[in-house]
Amino acid sequence: MKLTYLFNLLLISLLWSCSKDNSDKPSYSIGKNQFKIQVDGKERIYFVHVPAGYSHDRETPVVFMFHGTDQTGEQFYNISGWKEVGDAQNILTVFPSALSYCVTEDGITKPSTKWNVIGAGYTYCNGVIPSDDIHFVREIIKQLKDNYNIDAHRIYTVGFSNGGEFAARTALDMSNELAASTSTGGGGAMPRDTTIIPSRKLPVMLIFGNQDDKILSHLGLPTNASIPMGFDSVYSKYPFLYKVQIDPYVRCFELNDKSYQVLGDTNSVVYANYYGVSGMADNTFRIVEIKNLHHEYPNGINHPLNGALHNWEWFKQFTLP
């Protein structure tokens, strides 16, 4: 009798344990998933694309894609090309949305979606306090860890335009949480007048087009103009660009600006690799110039180069220690 009681008790315990394990296993949908989350008293929205090859039994890398001004996470879910690369490479791709604020930029005051960046080229209207978007990203990462089996050593950030400036901020503020970061579009991404040394000098990249109208405007050139291909040519002719593109990375990541490696073809894409004075392999910066690229994130349709695939080929060599 006593043995029967003990056997039944053990059986119930095992069944309860199995039931608990099954109920704790998160549910997810392959493809597009929308999430709403409260951060600092405000509702925030982000999208996650789960690739068809995702398995909860295997750690999966994560890429954040930050959109530009007046854009949304859902828009970049659709047009950036990252969900397609995520499917092909088995990556969880994340597309957060910035909040909308009253801002004045280029003499125009209007509501715009903006990421909270350092040294922004615009001003907020009186009384406007931007939200803590770094906190938002960290809360997303917490939810990702709850919902999916992510590889915490392979989390990457990508951004376009104002989103590129924010990706650069994540590289400064979250250097111990990210494997690498890249920014695309506009003159520069790092703070120009402030030097912030990150805790870890992680791999960073800046991409720009030689027909980017934001750059052309800053240089006083017409919108149908183009700047030279090749860094010696472009920086000797427009030293302002060196000041806003290269110099901030040299200061923040303590790079050796006297020695760098230039590769590529001036008929398509050229890039230069800079390395840190630390001698650490991950203390590296790559700048990329793309011919005939306007102020847009290249997706293989608006420009022959697929930016997401280009970024991933660079990202995948880096892992957070």
pLDDT tens, residue by residue, 243-255: 999 999 999 999 9
What are the tokens at 172? 């400064």
In the block, which residue shows the tokens 């960290």?
138
Is the separation of the CB atoms in 67 and 76 below 8 Å?
A: yes
CATH 3.40.50.1820 fits 31-97+129-315, yes or no: yes
- CA-CA distance, 238 to 227, in Å (whole number)? 9
**Coil vs helix vs strand at 6:** helix
End-to-end CA distance of the chain: 57
User: Which residues partner with 49 through β-bridges?
Assistant: 32, 93
Residue type, 300: G
What are the tokens at 272? 């230069």
Segments making up each domain of the chain, as ranges: 31-97+129-315
Model pTM?
Answer: 0.91
**Coil vs helix vs strand at 103:** strand
Is the separation of the CB atoms in 232 and 270 below 8 Å?
A: no
Orientation angle between helical segments 307-315 and 82-89, nearest 10 degrees: 50
The yes-or-no verdict on residue 279 having pLDDT over 60 is yes
- CA-CA distance, 181 to 269, in Å (whole number)? 19
The pLDDT score that the predictor gives to residue 27 is 65
The pLDDT score that the predictor gives to residue 13 is 44
Reported as a single tens digit per residue, the pLDDT across 58-94 is 999 999 999 999 999 999 999 999 999 999 999 999 9
How many other C-beta atoms can be found within 10 angstroms of the C-beta atom of residue 96? 25
Reported as a single tens digit per residue, the pLDDT across 130-175 is 999 999 999 999 999 999 999 999 999 999 999 999 999 999 999 9
- CA-CA distance, 256 to 179, in Å (whole number)? 21
Is the separation of the CB atoms in 185 and 212 below 8 Å?
A: yes
- CA-CA distance, 32 to 109, in Å (whole number)? 34
